[in-house]
Chains A and B, each alone.
Chain A
Amino acid sequence: DAKTTQPTSMDCAEGRAANLPCNHSTISGNEYVYWYRQIHSQGPQYIIHGLKNNETNEMASLIITEDRKSSTLILPHATLRDTAVYYCIVRVAGDTGNQFYFGTGTSLTVIP
């Protein structure tokens, strides 16, 4: 399974864009990049996923480099409620089983 590397922590000013990087240099051609976040004392929440094209939904945007070895999750206008641990995961879409290696993620703190 491809593993990911993320910075341990980041700060972002409220109202500014939060850009969370993730390295996945060993990603395979059929593996997708998923992002989840975990707000304190809650279970993780799905944010977005993508294969090679950039993706956008109501929560965030996902930018994947052309070589697919890294990606960036963008929260366009961070709010205090976005303070959470963000996990970048790679996995074959549609597979199940022991596949979601969450790692320790990036702890994002949004500062007023």
Chain B
Amino acid sequence: GAGVSQSPSNKVTEKGKDVELRCDPISGHTALYWYRQSLGQGLEFLIYFQGNSAPDKSGLPSDRFSAERTGGSVSTLTIQRTQQEDSAVYLCASIVRLAGFNEQFFGPGTRLTVL
């Protein structure tokens, strides 16, 4: 079946511009995470959505970052006034509960380059 998809796969933007990154989770998965991964670094948690509950935004690095999830499915991560340090791969994962634990299915990521 279809996995998690993200678009665009690559995004190059100029410093100060706004960008939107999209995540299409696996149908029926109720929870969704956004992470980012800078070059040579581990995954950094950004935000988490679970059903209709208020999202956990504790990982967002600044108020330039925001995310929404429409209809409990597609999610958009928005970065306003991008900075060079925002350059990273942004990964989305959707969650399904299997045998009592939550397995994360990751998308291929969006590689963001801020010039």
Which A residues fall within an 8 A CB radius of B? Answer: 32, 36, 41-46, 49, 87, 93-98, 100-105
Task: Give every chain A residue within 8 A of B33 (Cβ-Cβ).
Answer: 100
Which B residues fall within an 8 A CB radius of A? Answer: 4, 31, 33, 35, 40-43, 45, 48, 50, 56, 58-59, 91, 93, 95, 97, 100-109
What residue in chain B is nearest A107 (Cβ atoms)?
B40
Assuming the A-B contacts A43-B4, A43-B91, A43-B93, are A94 and B102 also in contact, with contact meaning beta carbons closer than 8 angstroms in the complex? Answer: yes
Q: Is the interface of A mostly helix, strand, loop or mixed?
A: loop
Expressed in whole angstroms, the Cα–Cα distance for A45 and B40 within the complex equals 18
Task: Give every chain B residue within 8 A of A104 (Cβ-Cβ).
Answer: 40-42
Expressed in whole angstroms, the Cα–Cα distance for A87 and B104 within the complex equals 13
Expressed in whole angstroms, the Cα–Cα distance for A85 and B17 within the complex equals 32
Expressed in whole angstroms, the Cα–Cα distance for A76 and B33 within the complex equals 32
Q: Nearest Cβ distance between residue B103 and chain A, in whole angstroms?
A: 5
Assuming the A-B contacts A42-B108, A43-B91, A87-B42, are A49 and B59 also in contact, with contact meaning beta carbons closer than 8 angstroms in the complex? Answer: no
Task: Give every chain A residue within 8 A of B59 (Cβ-Cβ).
Answer: 98
